Amino acid sequence: MDRNLHGRIPTRIHLILYKTMSHSAVANHDHGNEHSKFEIFVQLAMLLAVITGVEIITVYLPFSHTTLVTVLMVLSAVKFLFVIFIFMHLRWDKAFCTILFFIGMVLAGFTMWALLQVFSVSNSIPLSSL
């Protein structure tokens, strides 16, 4: 252990280091990670492009309708969640932002589901389509 470390570092730089560290504790990401943020973004973009490619290929695969729809939904959901948690920074922000957005997202999803259910039943098929 170098007992003389603090004695040897000029005071100004010591204070800057201290400030940087305490800010990182508050900011929830430290400045040493700045480079990897860039990398995370680029890697994510490439991943999203790959998933999109997979989606396009999927529609030509000879599986059942239900299977294909499920696969597409899952892949889209994965892309969706990656973008909101990483590009839109929800992973590193306060949880309330996530809750706020999920309220709208879940409600929209539920409303869409309910509407599709109501319009799918036999009573709702328009006469012109029968």
> How many residues can be counted in the chain?
130
114 and 71 in contact (C-beta within 8 Å)?
Answer: no
Cβ-contact 21, 32 below 8 angstroms: no
Strands (E), 20-129: none
The contact mask relative to another protein for 108-127 (x = CB under 8 A, - = no) is xxxxx-xxxxxxxxxxxxx-
Structure tokens at 103: 């309220």
78 and 51 Cβ atoms separated by less than 8 Å: yes
Tell me if 11 contacts another protein by CB under 8 A. Answer: no
Question: For the chain, what percentages of helix, strand and coil (3-state, to nearest 5) are there?
Answer: 80, 0, 20
Query: Smallest gap, in angstroms, from Cβ of residue 93 to another protein?
Result: 7
Q: Which of 2, 45, 54, 91 binds another protein (CB under 8 A)?
A: 45
In the bound state with another protein, the residue whose beta carbon lies nearer, of 1 and 61, is 61
92 belongs to the binding site for another protein (CB under 8 A): yes
Judged by CB under 8 A, which of 23, 33, 36, 91 binds another protein?
23
Exactly one of 9, 33, 91, 103 binds another protein (CB under 8 A); that residue is: 103
Return the residues of window 57-86 that contact another protein according to CB under 8 A: 58-60, 65, 68-69, 72-73, 75-76, 79-80, 83-84, 86
